[in-house]
């Protein structure tokens, strides 16, 4: 009987290197798959967090999504004190009157 060691079945060091490469590829594929799942989950939850438009026939006009996001940012800036009340009301009027 011969020695097995690194030369088992004729693969030698090349078999060891190929096995290491295989595991690196498997681990990288798992990491990328998990990352893709996390990103898609975050994307779905962000889409669900957007305010729903009011029901049809309620008389409340719906704003475009861009205006809703801009209005949210405007409200945050006002809450932080970055802008004064007059500027807030003017910009809010500009955003809501652009229907």
Residue 19 has pLDDT above 90, yes or no: yes
pTM for this model (two decimals): 0.40
pLDDT band at residue 59 under the 50/70/90 scheme: very low
Half-sphere exposure of 93 (CA within 13 A, CB side): 6
Q: Which domain holds residue 78?
A: 62-99
Q: How many domains does the chain have?
A: 2
Q: Is 88 inside any structural domain?
A: yes
Q: Is 57 inside any structural domain?
A: no
**Contacting residues for 51 by C-beta, under 8 A, at least 6 apart:** 68
Residues 35 and 75 in one domain: no
Q: What is the pLDDT of residue 24?
A: 97
Residues 71 and 97 in one domain: yes
Given the structure tokens 């004064």, which residue do they identify? 84
Q: Is 56 inside any structural domain?
A: no
Q: Is 17 inside any structural domain?
A: yes
8-12, 16-20, 36-40: least confidently modelled range: 8-12
Q: What string of DSSP letters covers 47-91? A: HHHSPPPPPTTSS-PPPPHHHHHHHHHHHHHHHHTSS-HHHHHHH
Rounded to 5°, angle at Cα 36 from 31 and 24: 20
């Amino acid at each position: 009987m011969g020695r097995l060691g690194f030369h088992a079945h004729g693969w030698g060091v090349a078999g060891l290197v190929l096995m290491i490469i295989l595991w690196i590829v498997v681990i990288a594929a798992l990491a990328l798959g998990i990352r893709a799942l996390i990103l898609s989950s975050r994307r779905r939850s962000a889409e669900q967090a957007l305010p729903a438009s009011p029901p049809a026939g309620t008389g409340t006009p719906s704003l475009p999504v861009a205006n809703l996001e801009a209005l949210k940012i405007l409200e945050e800036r006002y809450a932080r004190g970055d802008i004064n009340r007059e500027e807030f009301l003017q910009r809010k009027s500009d955003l809501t009157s652009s229907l």
